[in-house]
Chains A and B, each alone.
Chain A
Amino acid sequence: MKKWLQAIPQLLLLLLFSWLGKAIAAFFHLHVPGSLIGLLLLFLALQAGWVRLTWVEAGAALLFGDMILFFVPAIVGIVQYPWLLGAKGLLVLVVVLSGTALVMAATGVVSERLHRMGEGERHDSVERV
């Protein structure tokens, strides 16, 4: 609790960027979620040095640590879809399991191939960064 109280200024700064992103999305009628624009804005502000890492670091760490709390209402929303618990729910598992296996294999294999190609061209390994 104390950690949260101490982080309030940092959380407010993050909230400000979230609002800014939403305002921009609404103003330009963008379909992209406003919070993503806020993410990019904060990133640019950090790169430019307008916002220091120490101003937002602790707040971000706290938010990530308890991220699950924030999507509890969204998960509870499954009560509107009782079919998820029936036979159709098993089909969801099929979709998720097959899809996830494919995604992981694709990501890993492409990365591994590109690494090997990169090492063919030049000898300084990219892994040493």
Chain B
Amino acid sequence: MIPWNVCSLPLTVLFYWISKRLNRRRPGLLFSPAVLTPAAVIAVLAVSGLPYEVYSEATSFLNEMLGVVTVAFAVPLYRNWTILAANWRIIVCSLAAGSLVSIIAGVSTAMLVGLGETAAISVIPRSITMPIAVGLSQAIGGVPSLTAVFGMLTSFAGVFMAPAIIKRCALRRPVSIGLMYGMGAHVLGMVKAFERGDLEGSSSTLAVIAGALITVVWAFLLLPVIQTWLA
């Protein structure tokens, strides 16, 4: 018998380390550690018959670390504060618009296609950075796992669609492009924005952090409305 409560964490770290090295040799979304590592763990669960609850309990340390990562976002926020202070009206207004659209579009389309109430609530934080999204999902009665999957898909989708949107909407300002990347595609979008330039990168960083905070505000303001609407 394998002592899973001891082995699960080291095994996850090992899979992560291997997939990170693999990704360095074979770049691409499908070879991203965000896809490969969970896939490997799921394969182990399937083969060994280990229930998810046991695995989740054994790796709760990683969940705890998500909170620490969230706190660490204070560092880029502090570093980019001058950009935010100088452009705060533009940044706050466009992120407020973006996150409002994210919540309304997410909840309404999820209900429209019949995914159900739990999925609709879990879709609310999908456009913000994972650590904060998972925390918010828990706080508003969603399922963190569903939110994590929605969030990951969103990040991929955003990076994939961004060039077309920049062209269609005729976005030219670096700040606009950065905000778009950060609000729409969080983590991966940030990487892409930095590839375009420093100002794009910094404003996408701000969009990731401020966009998450603004989404939290919207979520709590709109939650009563959404709940009565879903019921």
Contact = CB atoms under 8 A, between A and B. Distances in A.
Interface of A: 11, 14-15, 17-18, 21-22, 31-36, 38-43, 46-47, 53, 56-57, 59-60, 63-64, 66-81, 84, 88, 91-112, 114-115, 118, 126-127, 129
A18 B71 contact: yes
Given A101-B161, A129-B82, 15 more contacts: A22-B67, A60-B72, A64-B72, A71-B34, A72-B37, A73-B60, A74-B63, A76-B55, A76-B56, A78-B38, A92-B119, A95-B106, A108-B179, A110-B94, A111-B93
A32 B67 contact: no
A84 B119 CA distance: 11
Contact of A67 (B131, B169, B180): B131
Contact of A43 (B38, B77, B127, B173): B77
B146 interface: yes
Contacts of B71: 14, 17-18, 21, 35, 38-39, 42
A96 B63 contact: no
B121 interface: no
B113 A91 contact: yes
A77 B115 contact: no
**Which of B72, B99, B172 gathers the greatest number of chain A CB atoms within 10 Å?**
B72
A114 B131 contact: no
B165 A101 contact: yes
Interface residues of B, number: 111
Contacts of B60: 73
B13 A69 contact: yes
Contacts of B90: 111, 114-115, 118, 126
25 contacts: A33-B67, A33-B70, A33-B132, A35-B132, A47-B78, A53-B78, A60-B73, A63-B65, A63-B69, A63-B72, A68-B16, A70-B66, A71-B34, A71-B66, A71-B134, A72-B15, A72-B41, A75-B145, A92-B153, A104-B185, A107-B179, A108-B165, A112-B173, A118-B89, A129-B86
Contacts of A46: 74-75, 78
Given A112-B171, A127-B174, A106 B109 contact: no
Contacts of B150: 92, 95-96
Interface string B89-101: 1110111011101
A22 to B, nearest CB: 7
A77 B152 CA distance: 13
A76 B76 CA distance: 29
B165 A76 contact: no
B198 to A, nearest CB: 12
Nearest to A96: B153
A36 B180 contact: no
Contact of A81 (B62, B89, B146): B146
Nearest to B16: A69
A126 B109 CA distance: 36
Contact of A104 (B33, B132, B162): B162
B157 A100 contact: yes
Given A101-B161, A101-B165, A110-B98, A32 B139 contact: yes
Contacts of A69: 12-13, 16, 33, 37, 62
A111 B180 contact: yes
B7 interface: no
